[in-house]
């Protein structure tokens, strides 16, 4: 067992934003030289400066000042844990964390008061299926026209628009350029640019020429390593790739157990990874404290993934009654992207072969979503953002309601359920004392009209306001 793993089980760290870090991978980030050593270097330089040239030093404290206190007055307050809308709540925030929530809370002297008394306040939203760190659009081959660095810079606005749309956390489920997502997550966490808190996959774990591979090339083209990083065949190769991803910064593992719609030469109804390979991925990921999500369209590929113990099935397009029963029995989340059909079909840039793959699948997926909701399967909110433009993630809510959820269930899918699926209910997913101050507000009542969530007016993440429209 490595030193890092020992520490991860026994220690809690306080990040610069005051949030306790218990996640093993986040701990690795916090041990990065720039997060621990730089303040020490600064302290030393500051001491030198004060000793020899006090007139020109800036005697600012190296460590940040005492965390600020903020009070939010919420006119309406959606309690996602009880499924009720409350009125006239006060949320007290200390630094990055929620300290107290209630109707009778004294606002301390000197606190910054944010008046949302004419708005509806709810937790920051969570999208469990995004591709922020990749290029927008259905055609993967565009990745071949840009360097990894160009792709990374081009993706920065994806993070920004997603946060400003009210999504304070995302589970990003794969990139063609391996580890662009790890870099984006860390750049956001260290404040280089703004975006949601990200949990990332590192790469797609896929069979050769499979749903997560860069296909459609001439037969004699050799791809660079980062464009074929997660290819694995056989349980031991799967374990090797999972081990590497875990070591190199993945927060979870994305496997593809059937063919795909948006992959050249693929067939959504084909089986890709075998049950043995899926099991190897789940077991190996668990050894590193990671969960696995499985892309699966075909009914048997979905069942293989559920039986092997994945945390969620992505798309779940052709799930049958047996699959629905299995998901319920195993407590597996279905993360069904039932809006993006609109984008696949309307975007003139969607390749013709992808449209052919997609024929009939969109409507079937929506009908199966209804069945799964009625059966009481655990549902999370995942849009496959990147297929649709980033920042319009909330358009899926209206479709979730149209196809069988109550507005409260749809909001819960994107808050409490999403946090449970990602494995960080202690940190986000509800406005509860002790959790990160990830809070949004809309002008109307999303329980009466779910489309209110398409126009988020106020966004706070970790106690910091990123958007405030009246």
- Binding letters toward Zn ion, positions 292-311, x by CB under 5 A: --------------------
**181 contributes a contact to Zn ion by CB under 5 A:** no
Which of 272/384 has CB closer to Zn ion?
384
Q: How far is the CB of 124 from Zn ion (least distance, A)?
A: 21
C-beta of residue 400 within 8 angstroms of C-beta of residue 353: no
Q: Residue 419 corresponds to which tokens in the numbers above?
A: 């946090």
Q: Residue 124 corresponds to which tokens in the numbers above?
A: 């920051």
Strand order from edge to edge, sheet including 97-102: 97-102, 84-94, 69-79, 112-123, 439-442, 458-461, 464-468
Which of 384/438 has CB closer to Zn ion?
384
Q: How far is the CB of 8 from Zn ion (least distance, A)?
A: 29
Q: How far is the CB of 262 from Zn ion (least distance, A)?
A: 8
Which of 384/454 has CB closer to Zn ion?
384
Which of 241/260 has CB closer to Zn ion?
260
Please tell me the distance from the alpha carbon of residue 322 to that of residue 277, in angstroms, as a whole number. 22
Which of 277/384 has CB closer to Zn ion?
384
Q: Residue 164 corresponds to which tokens in the numbers above?
A: 């400003």
Sole window of 185-193, 218-226, 265-273, 376-384 interacting with Zn ion (rule: CB under 5 A) = 376-384
Q: How far is the CB of 207 from Zn ion (least distance, A)?
A: 17
Which of 99/384 has CB closer to Zn ion?
384
C-beta of residue 158 within 8 angstroms of C-beta of residue 179: no
Contacts of 59 (CB under 8 A, 6+ apart): 46, 50
HSE-CB of 1 using CA atoms within 13 angstroms? 9
Q: How far is the CB of 361 from Zn ion (least distance, A)?
A: 14
Q: How far is the CB of 255 from Zn ion (least distance, A)?
A: 12
Sole window of 381-389, 412-420, 444-452, 458-466 interacting with Zn ion (rule: CB under 5 A) = 381-389
Please tell me the distance from the alpha carbon of residue 456 to that of residue 431, in angstroms, as a whole number. 17
Q: How far is the CB of 254 from Zn ion (least distance, A)?
A: 8
Q: How far is the CB of 131 from Zn ion (least distance, A)?
A: 6
Sole window of 16-24, 75-83, 224-232, 377-385 interacting with Zn ion (rule: CB under 5 A) = 377-385
SS3 241: helix
End-to-end CA distance of the chain, in Å? Answer: 53
Q: How far is the CB of 172 from Zn ion (least distance, A)?
A: 9
Q: How far is the CB of 126 from Zn ion (least distance, A)?
A: 16
Sole window of 230-238, 366-374, 384-392, 437-445 interacting with Zn ion (rule: CB under 5 A) = 384-392
Which of 369/458 has CB closer to Zn ion?
369
Q: What is the dihedral of CA 351, 272, 363, 358, to 10 degrees?
A: 10
Please tell me the distance from the alpha carbon of residue 460 to that of residue 446, in angstroms, as a whole number. 18
Q: Under the phi-then-psi rule, with left for phi > 0, alpha for psi from -120 to 50, and beta for the rest, what region is 18?
A: left
Which of 229/458 has CB closer to Zn ion?
229
Task: Using CB under 5 A, pick the residue from 251, 384, 438, 454 that binds Zn ion.
Answer: 384
SS3 30: helix
321 Cα distance to chain centroid: 28
Sole window of 91-99, 144-152, 276-284, 380-388 interacting with Zn ion (rule: CB under 5 A) = 380-388
Q: How far is the CB of 442 from Zn ion (least distance, A)?
A: 27
Q: How far is the CB of 201 from Zn ion (least distance, A)?
A: 10
How many residues touch Zn ion under the rule CB under 5 A: the total is 1
Which of 284/384 has CB closer to Zn ion?
384
Sole window of 14-22, 357-365, 383-391, 453-461 interacting with Zn ion (rule: CB under 5 A) = 383-391
Q: Residue 385 corresponds to which tokens in the numbers above?
A: 């953002």
Please tell me the distance from the alpha carbon of residue 204 to that of residue 224, in angstroms, as a whole number. 15
Strands 439-442 and 112-123: antiparallel
Which of 384/452 has CB closer to Zn ion?
384
Sole window of 33-41, 213-221, 379-387, 427-435 interacting with Zn ion (rule: CB under 5 A) = 379-387
Q: How many residues does the chain have?
A: 470
Please tell me the distance from the alpha carbon of residue 317 to that of residue 175, in angstroms, as a whole number. 21
Which of 300/384 has CB closer to Zn ion?
384
Sole window of 106-114, 238-246, 324-332, 378-386 interacting with Zn ion (rule: CB under 5 A) = 378-386
Residue closest to Zn ion when measured from CB atoms: 384
Please tell me the distance from the alpha carbon of residue 54 to that of residue 57, in angstroms, as a whole number. 5
216 Cα distance to chain centroid: 28
Crossing angle of helices 235-247 and 275-287, rounded to 10°: 30
Which of 181/384 has CB closer to Zn ion?
384
Strand positions, DSSP E, 42-153 = 69-79, 84-94, 97-102, 112-123, 125-130
Interacting residue ranges for Zn ion, rule: CB under 5 A: 384
């Amino acid at each position: 067992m490595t030193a890092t793993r020992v520490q991860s089980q026994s220690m809690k760290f306080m990040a610069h934003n005051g949030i306790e870090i218990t996640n093993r991978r986040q701990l690795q980030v916090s041990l990065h030289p720039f997060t621990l050593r730089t303040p020490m270097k600064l302290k030393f330089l500051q001491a030198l400066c004060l000793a020899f040239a006090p007139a020109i030093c800036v005697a600012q404290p190296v460590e940040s000042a005492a965390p600020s206190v903020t009070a939010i007055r919420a006119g309406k307050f959606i309690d996602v844990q009880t499924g009720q809308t409350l009125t006239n709540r006060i949320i007290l925030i200390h630094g990055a964390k929620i300290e107290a929530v209630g109707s009778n809370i004294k606002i301390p002297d000197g606190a910054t008061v944010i008046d949302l008394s004419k708005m509806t306040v709810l937790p920051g939203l969570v999208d469990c299926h995004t591709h922020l760190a990749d290029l927008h659009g259905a055609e993967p081959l565009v990745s071949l026209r840009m360097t990894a660095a160009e792709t990374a810079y081009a993706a920065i606005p994806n993070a920004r628009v997603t946060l400003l749309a009210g999504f304070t956390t995302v589970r990003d489920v794969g990139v063609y350029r391996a580890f662009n997502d790890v870099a984006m997550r860390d750049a956001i966490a260290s404040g280089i640019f703004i975006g949601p808190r990200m949990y990332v996959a590192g790469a797609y774990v896929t069979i050769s020429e499979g749903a997560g591979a860069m296909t459609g090339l001439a037969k004699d083209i050799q791809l660079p390593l980062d464009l074929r990083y997660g290819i694995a065949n056989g349980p031991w190769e799967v374990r090797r790739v999972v081990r590497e991803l875990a070591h190199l910064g993945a927060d979870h593992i994305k496997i593809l157990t059937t063919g795909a719609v948006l992959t050249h030469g693929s067939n959504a109804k084909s089986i890709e990874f075998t049950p043995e390979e899926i099991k190897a991925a789940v077991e190996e990921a668990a050894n590193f404290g990671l969960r696995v999500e499985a892309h699966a369209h075909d009914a048997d590929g979905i069942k293989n993934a559920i039986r092997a113990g994945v945390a969620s099935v992505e798309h779940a397009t052709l799930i049958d009654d047996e699959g629905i029963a299995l998901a319920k029995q195993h407590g597996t989340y279905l993360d069904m992207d039932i809006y993006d059909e609109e984008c696949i079909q309307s975007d003139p840039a969607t390749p013709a072969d992808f449209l052919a793959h997609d024929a009939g699948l969109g409507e079937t997926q929506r009908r199966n979503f209804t069945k799964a909701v009625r059966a009481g399967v655990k549902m999370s909110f995942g849009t496959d953002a990147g297929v649709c433009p980033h920042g319009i993630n909330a358009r899926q809510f209206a479709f979730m309601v149209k196809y069988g959820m109550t507005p409260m269930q749809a909001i819960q899918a994107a808050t409490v359920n999403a946090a449970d699926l990602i494995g960080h209910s202690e940190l986000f997913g509800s406005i509860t004392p002790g959790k990160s101050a990830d809070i949004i507000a809309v002008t109307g009542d999303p329980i009466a009209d779910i489309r209110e969530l398409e126009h988020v007016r106020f966004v706070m993440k970790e106690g910091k306001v990123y958007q405030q429209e009246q």
